[in-house]
Amino acid sequence: MTLYTTPNLNKALSVVDLAEMKRAGEKICCLTAYDASFGALLDRTGIDLILVGDSLGMVVQGQESTVPVSVEDMVYHCRCVTRARKRAFVVADLPFMSYATVEMAAQNAARLLQAGGAQMVKLEGAHIEIIRFLVEQGVPICGHLGLLPQFINQLGGYRVQGKQPQVAEQMLADAHKVEQAGASLLVLECVPATLAARIARELTIPVIGIGAGADCDGQVLVLYDILNIDVGRKPRFFKNFMTGVGSIEEAVRQYRHQVKAGMYPAPEHCY
């Protein structure tokens, strides 16, 4: 069982702290949040990283995908979360088509950091030149490989990525390129556990998994999923943390404990 320390809820985390957690072998615990109330709850329960995800399009707005989410939506929800947090590191998604060019990426990343209060922005895909440019301007970057929800109209569905050897090797190469471009974090979504383990082992930056096995440096889930609140089908990595507990806060604490202790994800949650 992995040991972990009691969080100092009065000390705000930084990218340096997250990197040190990887070096120390402590799992990074992440959940999504989209408002002040849940942001405050996650913060006081010791969640290390809050992702203000464009998943809000589906779980808050009732959209069929993340594609309709706007930069204005992201800035609003990010500001709600960052008003409430004291310790957790906050990452915000750059939504669909908001980083189609370097200029657009710079403008919209600046809005998320300045108006939204985020500490880092996340973008999907191996957009190496955009990542490099933003990092050069002082914008901390989280990459995202594997299943890319913003590409759902190309993918045709939410499917595991990286099963074929050629695709797996390309994803590994892209992960290295994302790191070399200056990204400080990488999210892997719906990736075979063996591939995710290799990527996490080879990269020096923390790798956060969602449906990517237990050997990533941390885990992220949509908050509504761990609370068994959803409007669609449940993915394989779904786990209802409300089972056997008496409150939402207790469910979040259970999630944190199981991630930190290496109990989640279990083999049945992996591809």
Q: How would you classify the pairing of strands 218-221 and 28-32?
A: parallel
For tokens 């995202």, what's the residue? 144
Q: Which of 20, 64, 189, 250 is catalytic?
A: 189
Bond preceding residue 265 cis, omega within 30 of 0 = yes
Distance CA(79)–CA(36), nearest Å, equals 8
Q: Are 82 and 116 in contact (CB under 8 A)?
A: yes
Q: How far is CA 12 from CA 15, 39, 69, 171, 264, in A?
A: 10, 14, 28, 32, 25
Active site residue 189: yes
Best CA proximity match to 98, nearest among 123, 80, 76: 123
Looking at the DSSP assignment, which residues form a beta bridge with residue 51? 32, 91
Report the half-sphere exposure of 130 (CA within 13 A, side-chain side): 24
| Helix residue spans in the chain (DSSP H) | 15-24, 36-44, 56-59, 71-84, 102-114, 128-136, 152-155, 165-180, 193-202, 223-226, 248-260
**Residues known to be catalytic:** 189
